[in-house]
Every structure is written in C-alpha cells, then in structure tokens.
C-alpha cells in the first residue's frame, strides 16, 4: 500500500505550498474549495483508498473537504467507487487515519521550526517572544490550566492561537515530558502551521485556529 508517512524536511514540506487560487471539487458536497481546505486521496495498486496528505502520490486525485463528517460520509456513501467507476477498498477508520497523518505532519513542521530556531517553548520564553511581536503562532496545550492561558493571551496581541495538541504531544517536540506553551516566529513555517492545523481542526472537536 502507498504511504504518506515521511520524515519532516524542507523538501517534503514544500510539497504542500499550493497556489492559493487552485481549487478542486469535493466528492461529497460537489462544492469547489481551495486545495488547502481539502484532503487528497488516491487509489493504490491494490485498489485501496489512501490519503495523500502531502499531495505527492501518483494517480488521479480524489478530493474531500477537510472535515471528519465529510470523510465518513464518503466512506459510507461509496463516493470513491462512484468517482473512479470501479470497486475500491476503504479501510475502517479512514477519518481517524487522516487525523493521525495530519497531526503528525503538523508536529513535524513544529519540530522543524524548533530545529531552525524559529520556535521556543516555556512560559517565560514564549511570553518574551509574544511581547516582541515577532511571533505569528502561539501553541497552548489543550490540557493546560486556564490561569496560565489567560495570562499568555493577555500579551498575545493578534497572534494565531492553536490548542489542538496535548502538553505531552508538544513536549515530545521540545524534548520535555510536557510543554504547555510554545510559539513560532512569523515566516514560512508559521504560515504552513496555520494552514495544516486548520485542516486538522476539521477532525478534532477541540481547539481554536485563527488566520494570519
């Protein structure tokens, strides 16, 4: 089966830098959306439906809006088979698989930002970066306390806030057991994080993602 699991690298991450005006039609609703609001799927050699999170796999693209209910409707309604006019295999839990791949991709980008010294973690470092107005994205752990959240948001300004990840997930990126606060400076990686977490938000009920 084809796989979209790849290590984070500048080359692989650039593959999702799509033209803002490029659109594709969702199989379920038939509405057209920019590609950064959609998930691409392909049919592998074994006739199985494979999510192509990075948009790099060969074959005809089958597009769905980046929402859990849309992916589930496509599986239940046999939209994939109708689109390719042939029987295909859809694994159980396809929406969960997409969520996992999107989550991994977002955290990979955050890890790349850390290695590039474009991201910091910890209350004081994040607070200082927010005060400098150089930060574009603020991560707050979904299981973080409300008091610390209020204090951080009070200095955040117009920064984008993302709370889709647990403190354990964020901690793994920064080599800690847990991380409640992290921030990424303005730039290409921050823009990619906003775009990819916006897609992930469609599969996770918690969390808030703004726009740059």
pLDDT recorded at residue 8: 47
Residues 124 and 175 in one domain: yes
148 and 82 in one domain? no
Per the domain annotation, does 208 fall within a domain? no
Range of the domain at 117: 112-201
Q: What is the reported pLDDT for 212?
A: 41
Domain boundary (98, 127, 159) is at 98
pTM for the model stands at 0.85
Residues 140 and 189 in one domain: yes
Output the DSSP codes for 103-169.
HHHHHHHHHHHHHTT-EEESHHHHHHHHHTT-EEEEEE-TT--HHHHHHHHTT-TT-EEE--S-HHH
- Whole-number Å distance between alpha carbons of 209 and 22: 22
Q: Residue 205: what pLDDT?
A: 66
DSSP state of 35: G
**Which of these, 34, 197, 175, 39, lies nearest to 111 by C-alpha position?**
175
> With a cut of 50, which residues of the chain have pLDDT below it?
1-12, 14-18, 206-208, 210-212
Q: What is the CATH number of the domain that holds 82?
A: 3.30.1230.10
The verdict on residue 210 lying in a domain is: no
- In three-state secondary structure terms, 184 is strand
For the chain, give the number of residues: 212
| Final residue of a structural domain among 76, 98, 120 | 98
- Nearest to residue 167, comparing CAs of 149, 184, 153? 149
Count of beta carbons in the 10 Å neighbourhood of residue 30: 7
Is residue 158 exposed (0-12), middle (13-18) or buried (19+ Cβ within 10 Å)?
Answer: exposed
**133 falls within a domain:** yes
Domain identity same for 117 and 90: no
- If one counts the domains in the chain, the total is 2
The answer to whether 77 and 28 are in contact (CB under 8 A) is yes
Same domain, residue pair 88 and 135: no
Q: Do 197 and 119 share a domain, yes or no?
A: yes
Q: Mark whether 94 and 124 lie in a shared domain.
A: no
148 lies in the same domain as 79: no
Is residue 93 included in any domain, yes or no? yes
């Amino acid at each position: 089966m084809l796989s979209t699991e790849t290590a984070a690298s500048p080359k692989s991450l650039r593959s999702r830098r799509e033209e803002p005006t490029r659109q594709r039609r969702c199989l379920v609703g038939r509405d057209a959306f920019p590609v950064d609001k959609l998930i691409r799927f392909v049919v592998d050699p074994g006739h199985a439906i494979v999510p192509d999170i990075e948009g790099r796999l060969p074959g005809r693209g089958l597009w769905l809006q980046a929402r859990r209910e849309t992916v589930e409707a496509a599986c239940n309604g046999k939209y994939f088979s109708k689109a390719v006019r042939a029987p295909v295999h859809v694994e159980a839990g396809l929406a969960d698989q997409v969520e996992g791949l999107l989550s991994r991709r977002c955290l990979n980008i955050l890890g790349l930002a850390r290695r590039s010294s474009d991201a910091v973690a910890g209350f004081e470092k994040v607070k200082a970066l927010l005060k400098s107005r150089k930060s574009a994205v603020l991560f707050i752990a979904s299981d973080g306390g409300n008091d610390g959240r209020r204090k951080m948001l009070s200095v955040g300004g117009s920064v984008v806030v993302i709370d889709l990840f647990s403190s354990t997930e964020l901690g793994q990126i920064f080599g800690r057991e847990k991380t409640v606060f992290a921030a990424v400076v303005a730039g290409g990686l921050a823009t990619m994080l906003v775009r990819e977490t916006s897609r992930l938000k469609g599969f996770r009920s918690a969390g808030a993602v703004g726009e740059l």
